[in-house]
Structure 1
Amino acid sequence: MSRHNRDVILRVLRAEGPLPRSELVERIGASPATVNRLTTSLLERGLIVSVGTATTGRGRPSMVVRFNEQAAYVAAVDIGSQVTRSALVDLTGGVTALVEEPVPDGAGPRQRLDQVRDVALGLLASARARRRAVIAVGVGVPGVVTPDGVVDWAPVLGWRQVGLARVLRTACDLPVVAENDANALAIAEHRHGAARGTAAMVALNLGNGIGAGVIAGGALYRGHTAAAGEIGYMLLGTSSLRQTYAGFGDIESRVGAEGIARRSRELGLADEVAGPLTAASVFEMARRGHPVATGLVDEICDELALALANVAAVLDPGAVVLGGGIGGSADLLIPRLEERLSGRIPHVPRLLGPSHGHGVLVGVAELAIDAVGSLDGALAEAGSLPAQD
């Protein structure tokens, strides 16, 4: 019972911020003496911190305590098509020790898996150098991931039925959560971003592929085969029925980063940029008023608006966050999308830019913390002072 109550205290403080001990008495339904004993134990172990006193009611001033977000880390990895990002994420979403490691030229499925394993092990070494414990590993994947951490398929990585969580558990000897990257982004935006607390929201991860993380009823919705939100496979019209899509889907083959770059080259825009022609460079040209780039961006917004209209009609989200690499141009896209959606669906959701530069990392860390169960037990097992029974 003591461990359960300590865990309740930790989770309440983590979610809500500093609170007086007297308020914790009401939250966990224990006596003041019990709360004082439990918080004293957590203070001694460095899991919470005293931040002063507060006067509540007629009693004496009560100590105010807050969760120590740096008591431990989650090792978080975001697997991209060209870059693998990793960081140590503290227990309230703060990112440190960020590393971006390019994918080696010609790396195949096995090499990508080895790189992810080595990156995770590097994070553990970084945490040891900081004299901090790691309680879990979280990994964001650009593909469909089953609840037990098997990557069902990820076209950009060439993965099918890859037991990612099992590989990393063996290598790191820690609990591991593997999750679709758009789902992780949705968790980060729902818990820490501009869509915080919105019961129904969608986060789009706009990169080479296009995925949507769906929050319904305040919880992540994965669907029957964990493939909910794969909106890149939405069809743009009846002509799409005469084609098959083995890798990227219909919409993402056109408005994903590679699709935009291909269409730009076909329009002759490659001759007008100094470096490689990318989706970001096309959006920047449109910002400067380049007529061909502006026309292409308008076409992209037409196609994205079709997808968003269908998403809104089915899910009725209160907010849609435009994240991922293309989400860096949300300021250019949002007004155009709002114009196209207005008057065409019953309710136009709030369209928002991303709140986090590293939302996938924050989201997988959140999911990993959820998965460990008892924070008190996980922190004790990971190397904090021994928890009391």
Structure 2
Amino acid sequence: MSVSETPRTATTRDVTEINRTAILDLLRTAGPASRREIRERTGLGSATVERLTQALIEDGHVEIAGLDRSSPGRPSSLLRYVSGRRAIAAIDITESNARGRIVDLGGTVLHEINEPFVFDGADPGTARLDGLLRLADRLVADAPAVGAPVAGIGIALPGITDEGHVTKASELEWRDVPVADILRERTGLPVLAENDANATVYGEYLHGAARGEESAIALVLGTGIGAGIASEGRLHRGFRSAAGEVGYLLTSSASFSRYFTEHGDTENTIATELAPWVDRAGSHVDRRIGPAFRRMMAAVEAGDKAAATTRDEFFDHIGLVCAAISVVIAPSVIVLAGAFAQYSALSVDQLSRRLIGRIPSPPRLAASALRFDAAITGISALAIERAREATYLV
């Protein structure tokens, strides 16, 4: 600190914000409590607890939930955190549609809708953005009917997203799209935009197959392949939020003879292997890796020998991905999510056999517990945390 700098001291507002947070966190995590219990568990004085809890009741963030008769003398009121007073809108965007939920601050799903994208010859990237905006409008308009006004919006999408700015999302045909700013301008609400693999690992970390783990990776097979990384309750986003772009892992020294822009080497290699199982029947060729993987696996089950060979090559490359991220990050679990879900037990077996004896301390491999709800569950949780912070710091 230079001589000219003055140390910053906490203001009365700072102290009030900290004390409000302590009370709300206690009631949210521990359940109803009396003012005496709040004093004992937070260390706050009687006058502070009385003043702040009364203000929280008047604001609707806390309510009276009966009487505490466990102590001798006159019963005291039990106070309870009100999770349903406000809600967030959570949106999960894929190549073909956007799915939306209204979720209260306790995590209860109040409402859900779906918005298929309408292309009709329009620019595909623009059509997807228009569909997202229509869905957001519908969610905000529907919120009063479910009794909880929306306090913020969370979006999970397949692409590199840094501070609400989509730097690259090949699947959506977006590049340098300030999606959070656009949606904030449209709705007047705070917006959190996050990569879908990050949202997936956070959902599994809190409520799914990675619950209770110290560190976790979600390997998501969808339009492409990506990984979300969580450790000690936090997401690891990396420089410019580009951590987990495992589709760009190089497959061999031959990779140095060419360049990769829209898709990485591993993703291109897997897509090429699965090309015979791409759906070309409709007017739109479905080049997503996930659906092609499922069609290939169905062919294996039907006895197709070529499909069985492709299955082995596919899991060889996924095994290399798991090995690479395991030796660098050393997660305690890798959750297989997205299109892996339909063949989860087989996928776990195939990859476990490829890792054991080849890397130190292979992680536990687990199928996604939340399946196709993982990303929207994760972005809901992240948006709820953001909305709670805003509530706490009023």
- TM-score, length-scaled by structure 1: 0.83
Question: 1:147-226, aligned counterparts within 5 Å?
Answer: 147=163, 149-226=164-241
- With over 3 angstroms needed to count, the CA separation of the structure-2 counterparts of 1:371 and 1:301, relative to structure 1, is same
State the shift of 1:33 in Å.
6.0
State the shift of 1:286 in Å.
3.7
Over the aligned positions, Cα root-mean-square deviation in angstroms equals 3.0
Residue identity opposite 1:243 in structure 2? R
Q: Does 1:329 align with 2:343?
A: yes
- With over 3 angstroms needed to count, the CA separation of the structure-2 counterparts of 1:362 and 1:49, relative to structure 1, is farther
1:136 alignment counterpart? 152
CA distance in 2, matches of 1:325, 1:98: 22
2:368 alignment counterpart? 354
State the shift of 1:136 in Å.
0.6
Of 216, 229, 244, the match for 2:259: 244
* Aligned residues of 1:89 and 1:361 also touching (Cα < 8 A): no
State the shift of 1:263 in Å.
3.6
After alignment, is 56-65 or 326-335 more displaced? 56-65
* Aligned residues of 2:348 and 2:366 also touching (Cα < 8 A): yes
CA distance in 1, matches of 2:301, 2:82: 43
- With over 3 angstroms needed to count, the CA separation of the structure-2 counterparts of 1:59 and 1:246, relative to structure 1, is farther
Q: Does 1:69 align with 2:83?
A: yes
Of 260, 266, 277, the match for 1:264: 277
**Paired residues, number:** 365
State the shift of 1:220 in Å.
1.4
1:273 alignment counterpart? none
- With over 3 angstroms needed to count, the CA separation of the structure-2 counterparts of 1:355 and 1:70, relative to structure 1, is farther
CA distance in 1, matches of 2:69, 2:352: 48
More relative contact order, 1 or 2 (CA 8 Å, 6+ apart): 1
Q: What are the superposed Cα offsets for residues 238-294 of structure 1, whole Å, 9 maximum, x if unpaired? A: 233323222121222344xx656514369xxxxxxxxxx743233344456654434
State the shift of 1:26 in Å.
3.5
Of 129, 145, 156, the match for 2:161: 145
CA distance in 2, matches of 1:262, 1:142: 21
- With over 3 angstroms needed to count, the CA separation of the structure-2 counterparts of 1:244 and 1:128, relative to structure 1, is same
Residue segments in structure 1 that go unaligned for 5+ positions in a row = 267-276, 381-389
CA distance in 2, matches of 1:138, 1:93: 13
Of 250, 254, 279, the match for 1:235: 250
- With over 3 angstroms needed to count, the CA separation of the structure-2 counterparts of 1:334 and 1:29, relative to structure 1, is same
2:282 alignment counterpart? none
- With over 3 angstroms needed to count, the CA separation of the structure-2 counterparts of 1:30 and 1:348, relative to structure 1, is same
- With over 3 angstroms needed to count, the CA separation of the structure-2 counterparts of 1:2 and 1:307, relative to structure 1, is same
Q: What are the superposed Cα offsets for residues 35-72 of structure 1, whole Å, 9 maximum, x if unpaired? A: 45544554565534566667778888776555333222
* Aligned residues of 1:10 and 1:376 also touching (Cα < 8 A): no
After alignment, is 286-295 or 110-119 more displaced? 286-295
1:112 alignment counterpart? 128
State the shift of 1:196 in Å.
2.4
SS, match of residue 317 in structure 1: coil
- With over 3 angstroms needed to count, the CA separation of the structure-2 counterparts of 1:203 and 1:279, relative to structure 1, is same
After alignment, is 21-30 or 200-209 more displaced? 21-30
Residue identity opposite 1:113 in structure 2? L
Q: What are the superposed Cα offsets for residues 317-342 of structure 1, whole Å, 9 maximum, x if unpaired? A: 01111112334432220111111111
CA distance in 2, matches of 1:61, 1:187: 41
Of 31, 47, 57, the match for 1:18: 31
SS, match of residue 335 in structure 2: strand
Of 55, 61, 70, the match for 1:47: 61
After alignment, is 343-352 or 192-201 more displaced? 192-201
- With over 3 angstroms needed to count, the CA separation of the structure-2 counterparts of 1:92 and 1:349, relative to structure 1, is farther
* Aligned residues of 1:139 and 1:179 also touching (Cα < 8 A): yes
- With over 3 angstroms needed to count, the CA separation of the structure-2 counterparts of 1:58 and 1:349, relative to structure 1, is farther
* Aligned residues of 2:118 and 2:131 also touching (Cα < 8 A): no
- With over 3 angstroms needed to count, the CA separation of the structure-2 counterparts of 1:301 and 1:26, relative to structure 1, is farther
CA distance in 2, matches of 1:62, 1:336: 59
CA distance in 1, matches of 2:104, 2:273: 36
- With over 3 angstroms needed to count, the CA separation of the structure-2 counterparts of 1:50 and 1:202, relative to structure 1, is farther
* Aligned residues of 2:89 and 2:140 also touching (Cα < 8 A): yes
CA distance in 2, matches of 1:30, 1:245: 58
